[in-house]
Chains A and B, each alone.
Chain A
């Protein structure tokens, strides 16, 4: 059984194809990095999987059931820039949003839920910031609040959109720790990722994408120079500064 399978997905924007022929199946308990050049449609892919963008064709199943019936199993960490951090609320409150589907209509979060949310904040090293206004948090701290919110969801399949971009070392560590924990618990994680240098350290599976999947599979099989050149169109040397991969290209 696959945790996630995407079949024949296609997305267009202004009649221009952004994604076409996207099919792949992610095994349960894997950590997948989605990589590809700028404009390859990485964020578009996870947003269309999550039904945030209209698709031209294709379907998505989660544990062999249609996506819509499995919504409760999905966790999401959006890019930090997608929300307005001037919104009047505090960190704990944002994390509690992750408990929404567990609380139910017309009810308020009870003490148990609040304790749960606090534990999640603690796990990302943000216990001291529970009552801090979100506008007063640093970029990395805001990212960790989003992580804690996803953690609070207690989902089975997690999607993260460039969680490492522009964060401090403490946040990077917290993300890695969390991903490892999720993997140990048998959860499935998909991450849009930019930094080729760290792919082999972080992920056991890789999806190489450039408008259509170039290759999907275990990292050591897929993350090869050959495949990278196919995805990045031979321009790989300009993409990353001084990484192992680029040196090989030279």
Chain B
């Protein structure tokens, strides 16, 4: 029982942490940057392993943070030099991700880090990898890491709420009235990188994209209020995690994949049934006017 509970708690934390942070990127029309960063943090994790020779949480967070910011920086530099933005994103993330995958093959069997793990995560093993202090177990490390990143993210959003909102809605105006838009941009990039690396162990580098983008996009269909959007994103993240776990349990399939699929189902429901912006209500409204 506690085993399943820990997995569900981990999944929910992934859902909330990624859902809230990712929704901000959806609003900024930067979903594909989230996609890129979630791939490239793999390089940060492998790099951190080569430097520290361990899969310890702190070096991993630092490595991922650095590579995440570098990803955003490379994409912007290429874009500024005249490369169209979609191609800039494509080139940067595939290069860094490929490098990460190739470097993993040099690590060999010494540690539990392989390409399959990188893609799908190992949420099923999370409950056994616990935080030990003086021989006493304090629960899974993943939960501690996700919890800390979640608290940090919430704190940062709370502190810079105005700045994030203004620079997202109208970046040019924000610049004129003195909002530090570059700072806000890299703040968000850091938050995405940290969320990704904290979730990496559980859901893998690629499926974390689903948790970053889908809850935010679903919430965007359901509300017209900024704060409510953050709340709904978190809620959809949790619902995806729980129902994903249920699906995975029944059919004995990948938990991370099932969570992504569940998130997709919620998005599909919202796109048709949303009382505000759903396809059906739009059709009804249009036929009433014509």
* Inter-chain contact B176/A50, CB cutoff 8 Å: yes
* Inter-chain contact A133/B224, CB cutoff 8 Å: yes
Closest-by-CB residue of B relative to A50 is B176
A-B pairs with CB below 8 Å: how many?
74
Chain A's nearest CB lies how many Å from the CB of B169? 5
Task: List chain A residues, Cβ under 8 A from B109.
Answer: none
* Inter-chain contact B223/A88, CB cutoff 8 Å: yes
Task: List chain B residues, Cβ under 8 A from A135.
Answer: 224
Task: List chain B residues, Cβ under 8 A from A52.
Answer: 172, 175-176
Tell me if A173 is interfacial: C-beta within 8 Å of chain B.
no
Binds A, one of B14-22, B160-168, B234-242, B250-258: B160-168
Inter-chain CA distance A89–B170, complex, in Å, is 12
| Contact A94:B169 (CB < 8 A) given known A52-B175, A100-B178, A101-B178 | yes
Task: List chain B residues, Cβ under 8 A from A94.
Answer: 169
Tell me if A20 is interfacial: C-beta within 8 Å of chain B.
no
Binds A, one of B119-127, B136-144, B184-192, B225-233: B225-233
Task: List chain B residues, Cβ under 8 A from A136.
Answer: 224
Task: List chain B residues, Cβ under 8 A from A98.
Answer: 177
Chain B's nearest CB lies how many Å from the CB of A2? 20
Q: How many residues of A contact B (CB 8 A)?
A: 31
Task: List chain A residues, Cβ under 8 A from B169.
Answer: 83-84, 87, 89, 94, 97
Task: List chain A residues, Cβ under 8 A from B220.
Answer: 86, 88
Task: List chain B residues, Cβ under 8 A from A103.
Answer: 162
Chain B's nearest CB lies how many Å from the CB of A69? 11
| Contact A78:B224 (CB < 8 A) given known A71-B178, A88-B229, A100-B179 | no
Task: List chain A residues, Cβ under 8 A from B172.
Answer: 47, 52, 78, 82
Task: List chain A residues, Cβ under 8 A from B178.
Answer: 71-72, 100-101
Inter-chain CA distance A90–B172, complex, in Å, is 19
Inter-chain CA distance A82–B27, complex, in Å, is 15
* Inter-chain contact A101/B177, CB cutoff 8 Å: yes
Chain A's nearest CB lies how many Å from the CB of B289? 15
Contact with B along A95-125 (1 / 0, CB 8 A): 0011011010010100000000000000000
Task: List chain B residues, Cβ under 8 A from A51.
Answer: 175-176
Count chain A CB atoms within 10 A of each CB in B159, B174, B175, B224 and give the residue with the most. B224
Inter-chain CA distance A98–B166, complex, in Å, is 9
Closest-by-CB residue of A relative to B170 is A83
* Inter-chain contact B177/A153, CB cutoff 8 Å: yes
* Sample (24) of A-B pairs whose CB atoms are under 8 Å apart: A51-B175, A71-B176, A71-B178, A72-B178, A74-B177, A82-B170, A82-B172, A87-B168, A88-B225, A88-B228, A88-B229, A89-B165, A89-B224, A90-B224, A90-B225, A97-B165, A97-B169, A97-B174, A98-B177, A100-B179, A101-B177, A103-B162, A133-B224, A136-B224
